[in-house]
Amino acid sequence: MATLSSSTCYSSSSSSSSLYSPSSSSSGNYVRSVSISSVSKRFLPKKISLSSPRYWNVVNMQDGAVTAKTTPLLANEIPVKEEKAKEGGLSVEEEIINVVGSIPDENETVSITVVGASGDLAKKKIFPALFALYYEDCLPKHFTVFGYARSKMTDEELRDMVSRTLTCRIDKRENCSEKMEQFLARCFYHSGQYDSENNFKELDKKLKEHEGGRVSNRLFYLSIPPNIFINVVKSASCSASSSNGWTRVIVEKPFGRDSESSAALTRGLKEYLVEDQIFRIDHYLGKELVENLSVLRFSNLIFEPLWSRQYIRNVQFIFSEDFGTEGRGGYFDSYGIIRDIMQNHLLQILALFAMETPVSLDAEDIRNEKVKVLRSMRPLQLDNVVVGQYKSCIKGGVNYQGYTDDETVPKNSITPTFAAAALFIDNARWDGVPFLMKAGKALHTRRAEIRVQFRHVPGNLYKKNFGMDLDRATNELVIRVQPDEAIFLKINNKVPGLGMKLDRSNLNLHYAARYSKEIPDAYERLLLDAIEGERRLFIRSDELDAAWALFTPLLKELEEKKIVPELYPYGSRGPVGAHYLSAKYNVRWGDISSADYQHE
């Protein structure tokens, strides 16, 4: 794929974009001249404002016409005549919407090849996400899905396998089985070795047949173990990359085990791909409430002024699963919970939470800010970390296996299935604020959330009404990523009546109650973004380097010193060491300290 320079991809061109502001438009004979990069029909609003950064970038000024460039038709410039807009009684903005909305995508095709199609992730997440996108009319008119793996399968067998995982989870259920049939008819399979250029040539031939001479855009999803990433990229690059459209590769985690192996992986990928072609996926970035984090921060006046050490006492990132490594012990044992969850999912959320305001919502501007905040962080230290491992437990007559009872896990494994850590950002905004993380498997509940605990009210007039425990009276903002998505703010208020009794209540945005539409799976959003060349939610290589730089010294020390994890029973709240760690920083874990928790 090295032959495909980024210029042949339909790139979002975001690095060179600037926010359009109506006041920057030209005067006199000139009209606004707009290049629409990274435009997607899904984002076309009924009425646009040219200052909306996601859709429009001003690139140049031309006499008498607006030039609209769209991602699928990068080479084509579509003039939008101001006169024509006037004739139709439309604004230039409305005329742009008309023109972009009517661009035919006849000449374009997208082929999505799921490499490792026989595997768990492909079945569980990727094919269902593709179907959901198809169902929602989000895929381009001409698209083909190919499964690729070593297992022998016919097209029909692949369809059968895929059909068993497709669910009509979407609200408009009427056409589901019809839509499923139509989707499955677009799915094909090619069996081949991962390091065989010949096998990828055969794939290329089949892809071309389906592309039917249209501009060919190709997306490869590497849903395979990381040790074969480079083989696949090399073979696909030499034998199956697009010759006249873009070629992109989605890479699944783990992106290495430490700084060195991650850098080696990046070097390997870059022998065949340019950075713009690599879409490193962290599916937590595709989750609705993580996507909403920036909206919450930057579009609400009430939050951003509070978003610093001045008002925030601590921030907690909590991940828990109520099941063990069942079935994935082999993979998990050589990674452990710190690499599996903390170094990527939780750290990514932390970066979005703590970054400075980006210049714009463009991918590069956001990723620049994330890198900056990651580089301002202190590498983790062993005395700020607690590790645990779940042990067997009998509950209600059921025997829940311990981690090392799993046949795929060595009996003497000291791989952590739980970890808690205190992290610090040494910059002006966050100096001294503990950012606590906690992640564990086989705990009492499944939950992912961000908890922001605010400082005490100075000179609190109502001190006596709270009793001794003033911590209980501080405001807390909870962003529940899953399940049962919600954002709630704990406030103090007066219990109605003649006395003066204070109560803690939640101002609650409960998604299920507020929105009837089902929340899309993270993989849907991310796949669509990759198809559209939107890189905002994918990890850039320097972000990855910065993330590994924080965790690598700790991971090495844990391994070298053979730190034995504290055992906790399957289904419990995890090791008690996590409480000592938080207490060291005067913090109480929000998910277990409060009686209010029952009411969340």
Ligand X SMILES: NC(=O)C1=CN([C@@H]2O[C@H](COP(=O)(O)OP(=O)(O)OC[C@H]3O[C@@H](n4cnc5c(N)ncnc54)[C@H](OP(=O)(O)O)[C@@H]3O)[C@@H](O)[C@H]2O)C=CC1
Ligand Y SMILES: O=C1O[C@H](COP(=O)(O)O)[C@@H](O)[C@H](O)[C@H]1O
CA–CA separation, 219 and 141 (whole Å)? 16
Judged by CB under 6 A, the chain residues 303 through 332 that form the site for ligand Y are: 321
Residue nearest to ligand X (CB): 119
User: Which of these segments, 111-119, 168-176, 204-212, 351-359, binds ligand X (CB under 6 A)?
Assistant: 111-119
The whole-angstrom distance between residue 160's C-alpha and the CA centroid of its chain comes to 29
Burial class (CB in 10 A: 0-12, 13-18, 19+), 174: exposed
CB of 560 to ligand X, least distance (A): 25
CA–CA separation, 233 and 224 (whole Å)? 12
By the rule CB under 6 A, 449 interacts with ligand Y: no
- The reply to whether 345 belongs to the active site is yes
In the block, tokens 């408009």 appear at: 172
In the block, tokens 């004979």 appear at: 29
Per-residue mark of binding to ligand X, 214-253 (x: CB under 6 A): ---------xxxx-x-----------------------xx
Residue nearest to ligand Y (CB): 340
Judged by CB under 6 A, the chain residues 375 through 414 that form the site for ligand Y are: none
Residues 575, 403 contacting (CB under 8 angstroms): no
Judged by CB under 6 A, the chain residues 264 through 283 that form the site for ligand Y are: 283
Cis, peptide link before residue 53, omega less than 30° from 0: no
CB of 127 to ligand Y, least distance (A): 16
Kindly determine how many residues on this chain lie close enough to bind ligand Y according to the rule CB under 6 A: 4
Judged by CB under 6 A, the chain residues 315 through 344 that form the site for ligand X are: 331
In the list ligand Y, ligand X, none, the entry touching 225 (Cβ below 5 to 8 angstroms by class) is: ligand X
CB of 282 to ligand Y, least distance (A): 8
**Smaller CB distance to ligand Y: residue 448 or 531?**
448
**Smaller CB distance to ligand X: residue 257 or 438?**
257
CB of 223 to ligand X, least distance (A): 4
CB of 254 to ligand Y, least distance (A): 8
- Name the helix (H) or strand (E) containing 261: helix 259-270
**Smaller CB distance to ligand X: residue 272 or 523?**
523
Residues 331, 417 contacting (CB under 8 angstroms): no
CA–CA separation, 104 and 107 (whole Å)? 8
Kindly determine how many residues on this chain lie close enough to bind ligand X according to the rule CB under 6 A: 19
Long-range contacts of 256-265 (CB under 8 A, 24+ apart): 256/226, 256/548, 257/334, 257/335, 257/339, 257/555, 258/548, 258/551, 258/552, 258/555, 258/556, 259/545, 259/548, 259/549, 259/552, 260/552, 262/544, 262/545, 262/548, 263/545, 265/226, 265/229, 265/230
In the list ligand Y, ligand X, none, the entry touching 25 (Cβ below 5 to 8 angstroms by class) is: none
In the block, tokens 């629409």 appear at: 36
CB of 567 to ligand Y, least distance (A): 20
DSSP state string for 71-122 = STTTT--EEEEHHHHHHTT--HHHHHHHHHHT---TTEEEEEEEETTTSHHI
**Smaller CB distance to ligand X: residue 212 or 327?**
327
Buried b (16+ CB within 10 A) or exposed e, 277-304: bbbbbbbbbbbbbbebbbebbeeeeeee
Query: Six-digit token pair at 386?
Result: 């607690």
Q: Classify 53 as helix, strand or coil.
A: coil
CA–CA separation, 90 and 455 (whole Å)? 52
Among 119, 140, 268, 553, indicate the residue that binds ligand X (CB under 6 A). 119
CB of 554 to ligand X, least distance (A): 21
Query: Six-digit token pair at 331?
Result: 């993979």
By the rule CB under 6 A, 195 interacts with ligand X: no
Q: Classify 49 as helix, strand or coil.
A: coil
- Name the helix (H) or strand (E) containing 375: helix 363-375
CB of 591 to ligand X, least distance (A): 23
User: Active site residue: 142, 190, 283, 345, which one?
Assistant: 345
In the list ligand X, ligand Y, none, the entry touching 340 (Cβ below 5 to 8 angstroms by class) is: ligand Y
In the block, tokens 């409060």 appear at: 594
Checking phi first, is residue 240 left (phi over 0); if not, alpha (psi -120 to 50) or beta?
A: alpha
Per-residue mark of binding to ligand Y, 283-302 (x: CB under 6 A): x-------------------
Residues 132, 170 contacting (CB under 8 angstroms): yes
Judged by CB under 6 A, the chain residues 248 through 267 that form the site for ligand X are: 252-254
**Smaller CB distance to ligand Y: residue 240 or 290?**
290
**Smaller CB distance to ligand Y: residue 189 or 418?**
418
Counted residue by residue, the chain has a size of 600
Residues 416, 338 contacting (CB under 8 angstroms): yes
Per-residue mark of binding to ligand X, 131-170 (x: CB under 6 A): ------------------xxx-------------------
Among 87, 120, 137, 484, indicate the residue that binds ligand X (CB under 6 A). 120
CB of 125 to ligand Y, least distance (A): 9
- Name the helix (H) or strand (E) containing 296: helix 288-298
**Smaller CB distance to ligand Y: residue 159 or 253?**
253
Per-residue mark of binding to ligand X, 275-314 (x: CB under 6 A): ----------------------------------------
User: Given the DSSP bridges, would you call strands 476-482 and 34-35 parallel, antiparallel or unpaired?
Assistant: unpaired
CB of 224 to ligand X, least distance (A): 4
Judged by CB under 6 A, the chain residues 335 through 364 that form the site for ligand Y are: 340
**Smaller CB distance to ligand X: residue 256 or 434?**
256
Q: Which residues pair with 436 in a beta bridge?
A: 316, 422
**Smaller CB distance to ligand X: residue 79 or 119?**
119
Q: Would you name the residues annotated as active-site residues?
A: 345
Residues that bind ligand X (CB under 6 A): 116, 118-122, 149-151, 194, 223-226, 228, 252-254, 331
Query: Residues in the site for ligand Y, rule: CB under 6 A?
Result: 283, 321, 340, 448
